[in-house]
Amino acid sequence: MLNWSGRIILLLAIALALAWFIREISIRVRIIGRGKHDVRRRDRPVERLAFMIGRVGAQLCAIKDRPFTGTLHAFVFWGFIFFTVATINHVGGAFREGFSLFGKNVFNDLWFLGVDIVAALTLIAVIALAIRRYLFKPAGITQPQPISRSPHSAIVLMLIFGLMITYLLNQGAEMVLKGASFAAWMPVSHWFAGRFGSIHPQTLHLFNQFFWWSHIFMVLGFLMFIPGSKHLHLLSGPVNLFFRSREAIGTLQPIDFEKSEQFGVSTLTDYQWKNISDFFACIDCGRCQDVCPAWATGKPLSPKVVMMSQRQHALQEARALVSGQAPAEPVMNTWLTPDEIWACTTCGACMETCPVMNEHIPTLIELRRNKTMMESDFPQELNAAFRGLETNANPWNMGHDGRTAWTEGLNVPIMAEAGEVEYLWYVGCAGSFDDRARAVSRAVAQILNQAGVRYAILGLEEKCCGDPARRAGNEYLFSMMAMENVQVLQQYTFSKILTTCPHGYHMIKNEYPQFGGRFEVVHHTELIAALIREGRLPLQQKAPGTVTFHDSCYLGRYHQIYDAPREILTALNGAAPVEMARHHNKSFCCGAGGGRMFMEEHLGTRINHERTAEALASGARVVGTACPFCLSMMDDGVKEKGVEEKLQVRDVAQLVADRLR
């Protein structure tokens, strides 16, 4: 217990630290508050709270994808939780001898036994994390260089180490000075106590005072340091998890064109408030960068840098934002470049792996929207795609009257003539106009006919689902197409919509409800797997071949459809397909998403070439796909690398059609 002068010093130090902390936090809260309102994030508060507590408490957010370093981080976090109570006791003991927040009982003793053990584990974790960061220097953390020169991490690691060691030293000294009876079952503190046995009590008392005050000042220093560092995620991370999007990864929101004059993001205040919250929640862990196909192939895009540069921008504009003024600088050109925002394939890997569930894709698409609709500044290759969507309802700009040419010689019913059916098959633009995807459409038609499925297509009533327009930032064009498509679909009677394109699957299932269209959607691999399971597709038995499967981002990561295509390939070959190095939710993008199917890759190496190399390394002779974009990109990769004799690319439906009796 302190004397009166010590208590006054302690209270002044706490007051100053808290005042600084509250001031800095309030600045950041007010900056976030300058973002646009978003009402979608307040539903099911109890469910959101339970999700947040479970994910943070168990540290699943840190352990996922990086089990070793994640576990080390978890020990640090649990140490933080345990030490919150210990610190309160630390301060309370300055005013009342023997103060304990939990009182004097078994629970209190068990809690501080936990503190004792966790303190030691935290010390080990901090040392291991420091070795990893500063000796092994993982690329996700150390690159790109300009982002990684901040000393924040070193300061925090030293503070945490100091907090643990001063606590244990203080506890050990207390045990010796007071002869505490619980010393024997506080193993770590007891060990430290053993080191003090030969020190004179008066000298040990001085040491103990030093340990006590050092611990207090480190706690207060840490409190003051948090708001200005990336370790703000201790507070903003849980907030982000609570207000997470409950929609599929990468789902975009519409623009109310009647009420909006500004389309997309030009300045910081054009973002939704949650986007700005993401910037402050970013941990700089580099997980998103590690899995980004653009970054991996030498493009300038790093999802981590997008988050961190926008945080730096927000802090630089803090005075204007807090005072209600407009930001002085635009987002683009000064803080981000066009090459960065147009490199994104919207694969969703960054969002899937982010520990605090940041939403990188909506952030980048909002920037594209501004470039496309406000400035007409977009990659020139998109001109042809936009023109094709406007005039012929397809990005290839092929004559609309040729949309059903692929059906020639096949018995494919048209919805306007068929009446009520079980499946309305939304063929999609690739399946109607791209030669490789047309072959897939013919294979699917053969399968449906063989199995006796009641289905029909829209024929000339079908238009592009709008995915290329929306992902390329042309929201106005997309919204017109979506409304027209919903009107057409709603006039017919059917049970489900069948798609052969995961992009169409996603749009109709997750983004058409924004325009009043709510439909049950099935991907062709799901239906084919069910037909095989039900015995409705008798297949010829052939010698098994070595097949691997390329997971489409929009089928797998967006919608968790991993088993159906593998079930089909297993039925065809009598054995499960071999897996590439990256598969399921870790699968590597083909490079065509986010409208990039209609853009050139001018920077770095081609994404499809890297994926083709993985397919070759698997030893498979055939790559199975379930997306027309993936089929095209993988087939191009095989041809461009000159390995047609070693590797063949086929849609799963084609492989099934080849085996039909």
pLDDT at residue 535 greater than cutoff 80: yes
Q: Mention the CATH class of domain 538-657.
A: alpha beta
| pLDDT reported for residue 1 | 64
| pLDDT reported for residue 147 | 53
Q: What is the CB neighbour count within 10 angstroms for residue 649?
A: 24
How is residue 75 written in tokens?
């020990």
Which segment of 187-191, 347-351, 419-423, 458-462 scores lowest on mean pLDDT?
187-191
DSSP 416-484: HHH-SEEEEEE--HHHHH-HHHHHHHHHHHHHHHHHT--EEE-GGG----SHHHHHTT-HHHHHHHHHH
DSSP 539-608: B-------EEE---TTTTTTT---HHHHHHHHHHHSSPPB--SS-GGGPPP-S-TTTGGGS---SSS-HH
Confidence class of residue 183 from pLDDT cuts 50, 70 and 90?
low
pTM for this prediction: 0.90
Which segment of 4-8, 335-339, 530-534, 644-648 scores lowest on mean pLDDT?
4-8
The DSSP H or E segment spanning 146 is: none
Give residue limits of the domains in the chain. 4-23+43-242, 268-374, 383-531, 538-657
* C-alpha to C-alpha distance for 387 and 477, rounded to whole angstroms: 10
* C-alpha to C-alpha distance for 593 and 467, rounded to whole angstroms: 9
Q: Give the whole-number percent of the chain exceeding pLDDT 70.
A: 97
What angle is formed at CA 374 by the lines to CA 373 and CA 378, rounded to 5 degrees?
60
**Chain CA centroid to CA 82, Å:** 29
Q: Three-state secondary structure along 191-236?
A: HHHHHCCCCCHHHHHHHHHHHHHHHHHHHHHHHHHHHHCHHHHHHH
| pLDDT reported for residue 108 | 81
Q: Which residues of 502-531 are buried (b: 16+ CB within 10 A; e: fewer)?
A: bbbbbbbbbbbeebebebebbbbbbbbbeb
**Half-sphere exposure for 637 (CA within 13 Å, toward CB):** 26
Per-residue pLDDT tens for 610-637? 999 999 999 999 999 999 999 999 999 9
Compute the Cα dihedral for 509, 387, 346, 426 and give only its sign: positive
How is residue 120 written in tokens?
């030691």
| pLDDT reported for residue 16 | 95
| pLDDT reported for residue 148 | 44
What value does the mean pLDDT of the chain take?
91
Q: Report cis status (omega within 30 of 0) of the bond before 144.
A: yes
| pLDDT reported for residue 544 | 59
Whether the CB-CB separation of 282 and 232 falls below 8 Å is answered with no
- Are domains 4-23+43-242 and 268-374 of this chain identical in fold? no
| pLDDT reported for residue 507 | 97
Per-residue pLDDT tens for 257-291? 988 889 999 999 999 999 999 999 998 888 999 99
Strand partners, 108: none
Which segment of 73-77, 488-492, 526-530, 573-577 scores lowest on mean pLDDT?
73-77
Phi, psi torsion values for 143, nearest 5 degrees? -120, 150
How is residue 497 written in tokens?
């919509």
pLDDT at residue 582 greater than cutoff 80: yes
* C-alpha to C-alpha distance for 343 and 284, rounded to whole angstroms: 20
Q: Which fold has domain 4-23+43-242?
A: Fumarate Reductase Cytochrome B subunit (1.20.950)
* C-alpha to C-alpha distance for 546 and 564, rounded to whole angstroms: 18
Average pLDDT over residues 165-194: 79
Confidence class of residue 173 from pLDDT cuts 50, 70 and 90?
confident
Average pLDDT over residues 308-319: 93
Average pLDDT over residues 553-579: 95
The residue among 141 and 495 whose pLDDT is bigger is 495
CA proximity to 240, closest of 55, 26, 66, 23? 55
Whether the CB-CB separation of 548 and 580 falls below 8 Å is answered with yes
The domain 268-374 having CATH identifier 1.10.1060: the answer here is: yes
Whether the CB-CB separation of 443 and 653 falls below 8 Å is answered with yes
Average pLDDT over residues 74-103: 82
